Amino acid sequence: MKPRVMRPVLILIPLLVAGLNPVHAQEVSGDWQGTLSAGSSPLRLVLHIRKGADATLQATLDSVDQGANRIPVSSITLQDAKLDLAVDAVHGTYQGRVAADGNTIAGTWTQGQALPLDFKRAPAAVSPEHKPAKPSDMDGVWMGRLDTGAVKLRVVFRIVNTEDGLIATIDSPDQGMRATPASAVTRDGASLKVEAKSLDGVFEGRMAADRLSIAGTWTQSGRKLPLLLRPVKDLSEGQRKRPQNPAKPYPYRQEDVSFENRVQNVTLAATLTLPPGRPPFPAVLLITGSGPQDRDESLLGHKPFLVLSDYLTRQGIAVLRADDRGVAQSTGDFATATTADFATDTEAGVAYLKTRAEIDPHKIGLIGHSEGGLIAPMVAARNASVAFIVMMAGPGVPGDQILPAQSEAIGVASGKNPQDAAKDAARQRELIALVESEKDGAVLEKELKEKMAGRTPEAQVGAQIHQLTSPWFRYFLAYDPAIALRHLSCPVLAINGGKDTQVLPKQNLPPIRKALQEGGNQHFEVDELPGLNHLFQTAKTGAPAEYADIEETISPIALEKIASWILQR
């Protein structure tokens, strides 16, 4: 599981980057101005909408205060005055409504959280351009690695000299973040300072005498990390290999689809893969883990659900996988949803599969990873039409037990003294107990601040309290998976990696087995797969810091186990 408070620390937070995909046009052509209030740094935005030669809409976006111009929008649709924009690279979306007079658009930008963003027609285009100047000795592409303790993240700075001075953009390849503009770049001799207000981050460093490195510190939200940058001519030098990612053309049919969760007014964008051969086919719906996830469950350069979907489809099993609500092409608000809300999205996916003539409606199952392994039993327990479920590192105990054990296990696997790791887990239990016992929000916030004082950087306290008191977190702490597991009559496969430090096999597999037995289920298998981590990679320690460096995305042992078990059903 990737519970939000214990996910690998994402040092860089992407904002406003996209690709291009024109769609059918209506009359909103022109330039639009708006301001996004991103914390203490308002960002002026200019949206350029144009009609293509085929009357389709195309759009680009300028972030004026960041010096980023002509950022392409990945998709744009306008229907019944409702404007939808997608910015795939950062899992961001904009939804707005065009006023009757056609001069304003009122809406919301969503990227993990929802922020109001209104546009009005611009009297003239606002697109400051930086004119190039003679390259400086700092011009070029510089790459380094941030060791956050939990994960190691590649960071890329692209520095260019202009008549207005140095400008820069920042990439975080392992998080899918590209070309985030720096808000200011300052040079004083060999010293360099790059500020990125949208990331709440600053890099300060000094170039070596041989000009082959810039050694410094990356500071973000009060946390300081050493960062050594070196020039790179070919970015492929630092690219991590992902040999299991399938290459097109696929030997099966792939279709982009969408389906409606009418209960909560959410539209889920998805991919359906259909095997060659004669239908109807058995099918599975893949359910992602915690935190905002796209349909491939992308994480640190890996795409586990792309690899799993490809493997299963080649074995004759149709697969549906969707972007989480509020992520990429899906609508809805991710930040306010609980596990129970995500379960209704899964039910909508099952209902959609039943409408497809290529799918056998009596052979539709669920595969849930991490939090998805919590959701699958919830859905199957109240939907008798679910033919089977697979729990990949699914919880067997409530979250208030999982998180402290996770904290301690990750600490030890990462090299921390076992006594210190145990103390960290004990402190986490204190915070959890406080969240569970105190119902008054103001009192809880005050007491949490007191508990965190001296232990948590002041700049991070607010964000952590927001997480600890969120609807999702409260629900996760209290929910007991055994409730749904006892009501399952369909076949169940529950697997965990033996080196999983996020959902510990010894803590979770026995309760899963016990609950299924208590419910009288006669068709289940519970297995611990030796040597595999939470992502089912072959691992050395199981610490999240290994995830990105391991080339393997999912062990062939796990893939074969899942596919063969499903086909035996």
Q: 201-222, pLDDT tens digit by residue? A: 899 999 999 999 999 999 987 7
Return the minimum-mean-pLDDT range out of 72-81, 86-95, 435-444.
86-95
Q: Are 358 and 318 in contact (CB under 8 A)?
A: yes
Please report which confidence band the pLDDT of residue 22 belongs to, taking 50, 70 and 90 as the band edges. Answer: very low
Interatomic CA distance for residues 381 and 383, integer angstroms: 6
Predicted confidence band at 287 (pLDDT cuts at 50, 70, 90)?
very high
Least trusted range by pLDDT, from 24-33, 104-113, 258-267 = 24-33
Please tell me whether residue 69 adopts helix, strand or coil conformation.
Answer: strand
- The predicted pLDDT at position 317 comes to 98
Q: What pLDDT sits at residue 93?
A: 80
Average pLDDT, the chain: 87
Is the CB of residue 560 less than 8 Å from the CB of residue 536? no
Confidence of residue 376 (pLDDT cuts 50, 70, 90): very high
Higher pLDDT, 39 or 139: 139
CB 349 within 8 A of CB 258: no
For residue 19, pLDDT beyond 50: no
Domain ranges of the chain: 23-120, 140-238, 253-397+480-568, 400-476
Question: What is the C-alpha separation between 153 and 299, in angstroms, rounded?
Answer: 11
Check whether 493 has a pLDDT greater than 50. yes
Top-confidence residue, 245 or 34: 245
Q: Is the pLDDT of residue 126 over 70?
A: no
What CA–CA distance (Å, rounded) separates 312 from 107?
40
CB under 8 Å to 282, separation ≥6 — which residues? Answer: 316, 317, 318, 360, 363, 364, 365, 387, 566, 567, 569
Distance from CA of residue 336 to its chain's centroid?
15
Neighbours of 287 (CB within 10 A): 33
Q: What CATH number does domain 23-120 carry, 3.30.497.10, 2.40.128.120, 3.40.50.720, 3.30.70.260?
A: 2.40.128.120
Mean pLDDT of 368-394: 97
* DSSP designation for 142: E
Encode burial over 353-388: b for 16+ CB neighbours within 10 A, e otherwise: beebebbbeebbbbbbbbbbbbbbbbbbbebeebbb
Cβ atoms of residues 369 and 287 within 8 Å:
yes
- The SS3 call for residue 386 is coil
Between strands 30-38 and 177-181, the pairing is: unpaired
Would you say how long the chain is, in residues?
569
Segment 186-195 mean pLDDT:
94
Give 249's contacts (C-beta < 8 A, 6+ positions apart). Answer: none
Per DSSP, the residues of 261-301 read ETTTTEEEEEEEEE-SSSSPEEEEEEE--SSS--TT--BTT
Average pLDDT over residues 68-82: 78
First-residue to last-residue Cα distance in the chain: 26
pTM: 0.75
Q: Is 435 exposed, middle or buried (0-12, 13-18, 19+ CB in 10 A)?
A: buried
Residue 545's pLDDT is 86
pLDDT at 68: 67
Average pLDDT of the residues in 176-201: 85
Work out the pLDDT band at 26, boundaries 50, 70, 90.
Answer: very low
Q: What is residue 159's three-state secondary structure?
A: strand
Domains 23-120 and 253-397+480-568 fall in the same CATH topology: no
Q: Report percent pLDDT > 90 for the chain.
A: 58
Domain 140-238: give its CATH architecture. Beta Barrel (2.40)
pLDDT band at 90 (very low <50, low <70, confident <90, very high): low
**Residue 26 or residue 453, greater confidence:** 453
Assign 383 a pLDDT band (cuts: 50, 70, 90). very high
Reported confidence tier of residue 120, pLDDT bands at 50, 70, 90:
confident
Query: So what's the pLDDT on residue 300?
Result: 86
Name residue, tokens 């379960």: 343
Confidence of residue 38 (pLDDT cuts 50, 70, 90): low
Residue-wise pLDDT for 451-487, tens only, equals 888 777 777 788 788 888 899 999 999 999 999 999 9
Q: Please tell me the predicted confidence (pLDDT) of residue 328.
A: 84
Q: Over the range 1-33, which residues count as b (16 or more CB within 10 Å of their CB) and which as e? A: bbbebbbbebbbbbbbbbeeebeebeebeebbb
Can you spell out the DSSP letters for 435-496? HHH---HHHHHHHHHHHHTTTS-HHHHHHHHHHHTSHHHHHHHH--THHHHTT--S-EEEEE
Token pair for residue 497?
């990696």
pLDDT higher than threshold 80 for residue 42: no
What pLDDT shows up at residue 16? 23
- The Cα-based distances of 540 to 94, 413, 529 in angstroms read 42, 9, 14
Mean pLDDT of 296-320: 96
Is 282 within 8 Å of 360 (Cβ atoms)?
A: yes
- CB-CB contact of 108 with 115 (8 Å): yes
- Summarize the confidence of residues 356-362 as an average pLDDT: 97
Nearest CA among 104, 103, 84 for reference residue 94: 84
Whole-angstrom distance, CA of residue 270 vs CA of residue 261: 13
Give Cα separations from 196 to 277, 439, 460, 464, 557 (angstroms): 52, 37, 17, 21, 43
Q: What is the mean pLDDT of residues 307-333?
A: 95
Q: What is the pLDDT of residues 501-559, one digit of tens each?
A: 999 999 999 999 999 999 999 999 999 999 999 999 999 999 998 998 899 999 999 99
Range name among 39-53, 205-219, 483-497 with the lowest pLDDT average: 39-53
CATH number, domain 253-397+480-568, options 3.30.360.10, 1.20.1250.20, 3.40.50.1820, 3.10.310.30 = 3.40.50.1820
CB 286 within 8 A of CB 318: no
35 has a pLDDT exceeding 80? yes
